Chain A
Amino acid sequence: MSNSSRNAMLAKIRTAISNGSRGDFHEAHTNAAYLSNDDENIAVRIDLFAHRVAEYKAWVGRCKADAIAQAIGERLMIRGKKRIVIPSDLPASWLPTGIDFIRDAQLDRAEVAGMDGVLSGAALGIAQTGTIVLDGGAFQGRRMISLLPDYHLCIIRAQDIVGMVPEAFTQLETARRNPIQPYTFISGPSATSDIELNRVEGVHGPRTLDVFIVG
């Protein structure tokens, strides 16, 4: 059944393409000159990223590479989070003492949902839109662990922040693995605009998002 539908659909589409073609209409707008990267220096870019992430009502901080563990410890203390799930490859040097970190070695969903929060790295950041991209690469883990807990502390390296959206897709394409990894773009905590079109933070994803920019 499905093969005959496939062939019938493709045949109909091919006829429609030639019947409905408007010729000149297609050629007129080739190579639209939209911006594909910004010329800003890294300092301006990091500031913009921090500012834009914060506008989504996420908390943003900066720290030096040799002070990550201390920064994380202070932040988790302020938030009162004690049991934190981490990706299996997260470096031990990031982890402060006094907090219960549980490595994700195929934890089941109820265990992950029962955590106070998740601590992860990120693939890259987009300054223009205040977006964090996760691709399941280094220090990020499975999609489930950054989704079920109500709190997400995300660590992003300054050199991984790009200026604009098209740059992000170029970079992700360069870093593509085989088979292709799943991607999650995160811009602030989960939110809805479904009630009178006002943005309200906190529906199904983590309701609190903290971000450290390292470097």
Chain B
Amino acid sequence: MKKPESVIIALAPRFEVGAKSALQNTQLRRNMGKATQTIRAKRAAVVEELSDWESLRVAGQHIKDEVLQHLDTYLVQLEDAITQAGGHVHWAKDAHEANEIVTRLIQATGAKEIIKVKSLTTDEIRLNEALELAGITAIETDLAELIIQLAHEKSSHILVPAIHKNRSEIRALFQKSMNLPELTDEPKELAAAARQYLREKFMTVRVATSGANFAIAETGSVCVVESEGNGRMCLTMPDVLISVMGIEKILPRWQDLGVFMQLLPRSSTGERMNPYTSIWTGVHADDGPQEFHLVLLDNGRSDVLADSVGRQTLHCIRCSACINVCPVYERTGGHAYGSVYPGPIGAILTPQLVGMAHADSLPYASSLCGACYDVCPVRINIPEVLVHLRGKVVAEKQAQPKSWFDGENIGMKAMATAFGHRSTYEFAQRAGQLAQWPFVHEGYIEHGPGPLGKWTAMRDFPAIPPQSFRDWWRERQRDE
């Protein structure tokens, strides 16, 4: 079967290659260390406040489970409710179809320029590039997205795409691109510069696009959670609003928002509540856009749904708590992942969306420490999915004839045989004791031979001791 277009990874190098160059950038490591530690402390403080946090997580997980178990029913219910409320619903199998639909809708209005609310889903399908090919300019209105757009860079964090830039770097960028030579690096002044820069666009541009944090099947309501007010602007001021939403973002009932509007802000920016949340249902007479379109996007999601271990990945509400807590992300930053979705969630979501062959280094971008699972507000067992995906990478490699001659594969198979029976294990242990002597230095192997060399390039391997535990145990029983 044909996989959806590889829209996530844009000729990105493998994770271990990208990570190596990121680790050499000391400015990046300082920026990332400071930012992730700040946000972790904020999150921990506001989560601590809620005595029922664990119950909320379980409720969030359960609601998402229910959604996925009946996804077809809820999608049709949502479509009916939105249509009744005067909106239009479109279905897109993949990125290409979604981009086509959005382009066509914008062209029908005659607009050459649109304003955008920050949306990962539209980043995933690379909507801006598709629109550019059709001669339509998409203006990002979220501060961090604007920074990235002006700097012609890629996002490095799902919530704060410019997390890798500090205030003086942002100042220099704004000075140049907004022609404000007097600008200081005071965050308040930088925010004011963005306010002024975008105000005219909010007042004049007639078409907006957005993503969606949640959509309620029973009412047809769509919800966008934000901070700056650029979301409110895009959702209120234009004549036409086009929202693109992954099919898994649906919630069954209005009441479910009572759970998710506690889980999301606290996990995401570490606030009790984000400054602004907008919820709209179709079109509202004399208030806001009079034409509303919702594009429902699959783009690989139904493949994830079909995998019993991987399915839980679709619980994700894009809060970024797992990213902020990840020791690997903290050191490499987001660009090393080569995906719109970096960090632990990206390491499991990206390969499943685009197919293992295109992202087989990502399931290894983790130490499996499990911190991501602890903070996940919808209890996605990320380490479990990582291990599951690693298994898939190996299985795909083993299915190719050239794996018969691959040192790592041969070694692993030999180990599997050795660990399979007591006698072969003890024999292998004794053989190892004899064979290892040229490599052992003070109890450790620092430079292993053959394929082991790759492993010991990063860490030392403890040598097999002269007396194994089994020998010691037998001796102890003899002595008694």
Chain A interface (Cβ < 8 Å from any Cβ of B) = 2, 5-6, 8-10, 12-17, 19-22, 25-26, 29-30, 32-36, 52, 56, 106, 109-110, 113, 126, 128-131, 136, 142-144, 147, 165-170, 172-173, 179-206
> B87 → chain A, closest Cβ, in Å?
11
> B333 → chain A, closest Cβ, in Å?
14
Q: Does B170 contact A (CB under 8 A)?
A: yes
B191 contact set on A, CB distance < 8 A? 192, 195, 200, 202-203
- Centre residue among A34, A194, A196 by max chain B CB count within 10 A: A194
Q: Does B368 contact A (CB under 8 A)?
A: no
Could you tell me the dominant secondary structure of chain B's interface residues?
Answer: helix
Known: A9-B302, A187-B271, A195-B170. A142 touches B279 (CB 8 A): no
Q: How many A-B residue pairs have CB under 8 A?
A: 254
Chain B interface residue count, CB cutoff 8 Å, equals: 102
A13 contact set on B, CB distance < 8 A? 71-72, 75, 247, 298, 302, 305
A194 touches B144 (CB 8 A): yes
B302 touches A16 (CB 8 A): yes
- Closest residue of chain A to B286 (Cβ to Cβ) is A142
Q: Does B282 contact A (CB under 8 A)?
A: yes
Give the complex CA separation of A36 and B257 in angstroms. 12
A196 contact set on B, CB distance < 8 A? 31, 34-35, 38, 166-167, 187
B232 contact set on A, CB distance < 8 A? 143, 147, 184, 204-205
Give the complex CA separation of A108 and B286 in angstroms. 12
A204 touches B229 (CB 8 A): yes
B167 touches A10 (CB 8 A): no
Give the complex CA separation of A10 and B296 in angstroms. 11
Give the complex CA separation of A12 and B71 in angstroms. 11
A189 contact set on B, CB distance < 8 A? 275
A29 touches B62 (CB 8 A): yes
- Closest residue of chain A to B79 (Cβ to Cβ) is A6
Give the complex CA separation of A202 and B170 in angstroms. 17
B160 touches A193 (CB 8 A): yes
B203 contact set on A, CB distance < 8 A? 109-110, 113
B141 contact set on A, CB distance < 8 A? 204
Extra inter-chain contacts (18) besides given A33-B55, A195-B170, CB under 8 Å: A5-B93, A6-B91, A13-B247, A17-B72, A19-B306, A22-B308, A34-B56, A34-B259, A106-B286, A126-B273, A144-B287, A147-B236, A166-B255, A166-B262, A179-B86, A180-B219, A183-B279, A204-B202
A26 contact set on B, CB distance < 8 A? 62, 65-66, 69
- Closest residue of chain B to A5 (Cβ to Cβ) is B91
Q: Given B220, B228, B273, which contacts A187 in the complex, CB threshold below 8 Å? A: B273
Give the complex CA separation of A159 and B70 in angstroms. 39
B343-359: contact bitstring with A at CB < 8 Å (1 yes, 0 no)? 00000000000000000
